[in-house]
Chain A
């Protein structure tokens, strides 16, 4: 099946710095990738849809200038958390839609845990 690789798996940074998270689709060309965020004990919340070659689509309440998304190729999308603050500490997960008999299954990365001190 399709494999989605996320890097780094864990990152700790100081408040005010920027952090980049990479999401790679290893064996499937993805024109679209999704970025989710998950706080402790909560469910996944969609942050944005990453579109290859065009601007990302952000969900309501997600600041596009704070969470920069770049989808420069069919196999790579990056999420940059700019000027990170402790409240940005969360589990960030990317996913790639894979068509399967019309049902559009999502394959997820292993996630990136961000801790902002």
Chain B
């Protein structure tokens, strides 16, 4: 799977929007962009994924650049429970192995 680059950490105030960036300049045409998050002392949980178009679900929105070399995970109103490490991962659609390769992620801190 191609590599992604994320800031090590970010801070946000509670109830404000958060934009978590991810660069993936070597993305290929068949790579999906996945986001997972890991709350303290828990396993990761799926947040959202997309291929080309922007995506929305109940947890977040995913904005994908037109050239697909970067994406942004948007939390519309951060809560204290959103404090976690957020991982941006590229997955080839034909990835027979199915496993995910995790990078360092972005540690999001939410201030009350």
A-to-B contact residues, CB < 8 Å: 4, 6, 32, 34, 36, 43-46, 49, 91, 93, 95, 97, 100, 102-111, 113
Also in contact, A107 and B46, with CB within 8 A (given A43-B103, A43-B104, A43-B105): yes
Report yes or no: B41 in contact with A104, Cβ–Cβ below 8 A. no
Q: Is the interface of A mostly helix, strand, loop or mixed?
A: strand
The residues of A that contact B54 with a CB separation of less than 8 Å are none
Nearest 9 A/B pairs, CB to CB: A108-B43, A97-B98, A44-B102, A93-B43, A43-B102, A111-B43, A103-B32, A34-B99, A108-B44
The residues of B that contact A43 with a CB separation of less than 8 Å are 87, 102-105
The residues of A that contact B102 with a CB separation of less than 8 Å are 36, 43-45
B-to-A contact residues, CB < 8 Å: 32, 34, 36, 38, 41-46, 49, 51, 87, 91, 93, 95, 97-105
Report yes or no: B44 in contact with A44, Cβ–Cβ below 8 A. yes
Q: Is the interface of B mostly helix, strand, loop or mixed?
A: loop
Report yes or no: A103 in contact with B45, Cβ–Cβ below 8 A. no
Report yes or no: A46 in contact with B101, Cβ–Cβ below 8 A. yes
The residues of B that contact A110 with a CB separation of less than 8 Å are 42-43
The residues of A that contact B100 with a CB separation of less than 8 Å are 34, 46, 95, 106
**Nearest-CB residue, chain B, relative to A43:** B102
Inter-chain pairs besides A49-B99, A93-B44, A106-B98, 16 sampled, C-beta below 8 Å: A4-B43, A34-B98, A43-B87, A44-B102, A46-B99, A46-B100, A49-B97, A95-B44, A102-B32, A102-B93, A103-B34, A104-B91, A104-B95, A110-B42, A111-B42, A113-B41
Report yes or no: A103 in contact with B43, Cβ–Cβ below 8 A. no
CA distance A32 to B36 in the complex (A): 20
The residues of A that contact B99 with a CB separation of less than 8 Å are 34, 46, 49, 95, 97, 106
CA distance A40 to B49 in the complex (A): 27
CA distance A73 to B95 in the complex (A): 23
Report yes or no: B91 in contact with A103, Cβ–Cβ below 8 A. yes
Also in contact, A105 and B49, with CB within 8 A (given A43-B103, A44-B102, A46-B99): yes
CA distance A97 to B91 in the complex (A): 12
The residues of A that contact B101 with a CB separation of less than 8 Å are 46
